[in-house]
Homo-oligomer: A and B are copies of this chain.
Amino acid sequence: MTTKKNFGILGGDFRQIHLAEKFLDIGKVFLFGFDKLNDNFPFIILDNIYEIIEKSEYIILPLPETRDGIHLYCPFANTEINFDKKIFDFLSKKIIFGNLKKFTEYKENIKFYNYSNTEEFQIMNAVPTAEGAIKIAMSEENKTLFGSECLVAGFGRIGKILASRLKAFRSNITVVSRNSRELAWAKVLGYKQIHLDNLVYEIKNFDFIFNTIPSAIFTQQSISGCKKNVFIVDVASNPGGIDKKEAEKLKINCIHALGIPGKMFPKSAAKIIYNSIEKIITEENL
């Protein structure tokens, strides 16, 4: 890209810092909401969000825009900012990149581009999620993945990528799903497969369980059949797929990890966001 434009980055976590670095190559970058970090950034930090919006052609909203539905997601800001009609009015003449799951009522009045809902973005984002799941499993356990029995629940984007990475450790991988297409893919890619209906009979075999299915798969009955020293990593979005109370009661190691890309791999996650925004700018001729 050659466009020399101003980018206004409003709030967000470490990903936005790395994102800002990348945008520096193609324009000026204004940053809002990082006053808790005392780093010597090469960006222009302004305290006034309206000033930043005014000075920028492109506005980047964080992922997510809000946690509480009211304030802009700004974990590194000292003060909270209402993300309300007043801001959206200011945004109306700009090109906005974001996700905006919550503020749908304002979407129609702004030039809004969703950088995170393309299948491409979601496939790319499944990579750090899968890598993070393995990172968690490795860092918590004193047994090798090599020779272990691993269960991957769900064989969508994350499940497929996760299994392809785990395989290299020569762990024995079983995919569980209720979807016959997913089970067929598991078969042709060389994994063992079990239908979800049979999970309860097989669950005793696994040393590591990775869940990607966002529904109550690992019920009391399943969990009570687990090995005592099983380790469960749940990366499914809230509420996850594990009966956590039951897991706790049985003293089973279980970690529910949300937002892995942003938390564990902010730099790589930023690159994925950058590529997505860059592609939109190019394709839409912005």
Interface of A toward B, CB cutoff 8 Å: 14, 118-120, 123-124, 126-128, 131, 134-135, 138-139, 142-147, 161, 164-170, 180-181, 183-185, 187-190, 264-268
Contact B168 A123 (CB under 8 A): no
Question: A170-B188, A188-B170 in contact; A180/B142 too (CB < 8 A)?
Answer: no
Contact A146 B184 (CB under 8 A): no
In the complex, 24 of the A-B residue pairs with CB atoms within 8 angstroms, ordered by the A residue number, are: A119-B181, A119-B184, A120-B183, A123-B188, A124-B187, A128-B144, A131-B169, A134-B138, A135-B135, A138-B138, A138-B139, A139-B139, A142-B264, A142-B267, A142-B268, A143-B267, A143-B268, A144-B268, A146-B188, A146-B268, A164-B189, A168-B168, A168-B169, A170-B189
Chain B residues with CB under 8 A of A168: 164-169
In angstroms, Cα B131 to Cα A139, docked, is 11
Chain B residues with CB under 8 A of A170: 188-190
Chain B residues with CB under 8 A of A267: 142-143
Chain B residues with CB under 8 A of A143: 265, 267-268
Of B14, B119, B139, B184, which contacts A124 at CB under 8 A? B184
Chain B residues with CB under 8 A of A167: 168
In angstroms, Cα B181 to Cα A109, docked, is 29
Question: A134-B138, A181-B119, A188-B161 in contact; A144/B169 too (CB < 8 A)?
Answer: no
Of B119, B131, B138, B139, which contacts A146 at CB under 8 A? B131
Contact B139 A127 (CB under 8 A): no
**Nearest neighbor of A263 in chain B, beta-carbon distance:** B142
Within the complex, what minimum Cβ distance (angstroms) separates A137 from chain B?
10
Within the complex, what minimum Cβ distance (angstroms) separates A283 from chain B?
10
Contact A147 B184 (CB under 8 A): no
In angstroms, Cα B190 to Cα A134, docked, is 18
Chain B residues with CB under 8 A of A188: 123-124, 126-127, 146, 161, 170
Question: A131-B138, A145-B131, A146-B131 in contact; A119/B165 too (CB < 8 A)?
Answer: no
Within the complex, what minimum Cβ distance (angstroms) separates A202 from chain B?
19
Within the complex, what minimum Cβ distance (angstroms) separates A190 from chain B?
4
Contact A144 B131 (CB under 8 A): yes
Chain B residues with CB under 8 A of A180: 118-120
Chain B residues with CB under 8 A of A264: 142
Question: A144-B268, A146-B268, A164-B189 in contact; A181/B134 too (CB < 8 A)?
Answer: no
Question: A165-B169, A168-B167 in contact; A181/B144 too (CB < 8 A)?
Answer: no
Within the complex, what minimum Cβ distance (angstroms) separates A3 from chain B?
21
